[in-house]
Structure 1
Amino acid sequence: MVTRDFSGFEIAKVLANSGNFDWVRTTGDHAILKWSAPPDHDTDDRTVSVPLHDRVPTGTLRSIGDDAGMNDFDEFCQWLDHNR
């Protein structure tokens, strides 16, 4: 089974280092990350808000994945686990 136990800092760090997101700012206890679509892409830019908590609940993790453009939740969790 794939682990779903990540801290918010781990998620934000992986997205910023491996997912081509820019860590734009920290507002309160949330990291705001942005991804700009390349000119030849037919998708919109993405903004992801990650709560910097010790443990992120599964529903919130799924929402972060949706905002980041994931296609498969288990694959997203495996990618996070592999890159942390």
Structure 2
Amino acid sequence: MRYKEVAQKLRRLGCEEIERKSKGSHRKWLNLSNQNVAVIPDWGSKDLKFGTIKATIKQLGIEWSAFEEA
């Protein structure tokens, strides 16, 4: 799954990307319901590793089943 796909699902689940102040390949996301923050790598067209996605979802306090359905 690419970063864009993960980002779309996170937006549907009520998360918001925090504005970047510098260049780089990582982006911060905020879960508005519980104020949890996670950093996700943006590798462009390369797929993110499953463990990276799962850890990010856990850090944001989102259930895996909810993420899959989004």
Q: Same fold (TM over 0.5)?
A: yes
TM-score by length of structure 1 reads: 0.62
- Alignment partner of 1:45 is 2:35: yes
Give 5+ residue unaligned stretches, structure 2. Answer: none
Cα deviation, residue 59, structure 1: 1.0
User: Percent identical across equivalent pairs?
Assistant: 14
> Please, what is the CA RMSD of the aligned residues?
2.0
Matched residue, 1:40: none
Matched residue, 1:22: 16
Query: Aligned equivalents of 2:27 and 2:8: distance in 1?
Result: 10
TM-score by length of structure 2 reads: 0.71
Matched residue, 1:34: 30
Question: Runs of at least 4 residues of structure 1 off by over 6 A?
Answer: none
- Alignment partner of 1:12 is 2:7: yes
Structure showing greater Rg? 1
Q: 1:76 to 1:47 in 2, by over 3 A?
A: same
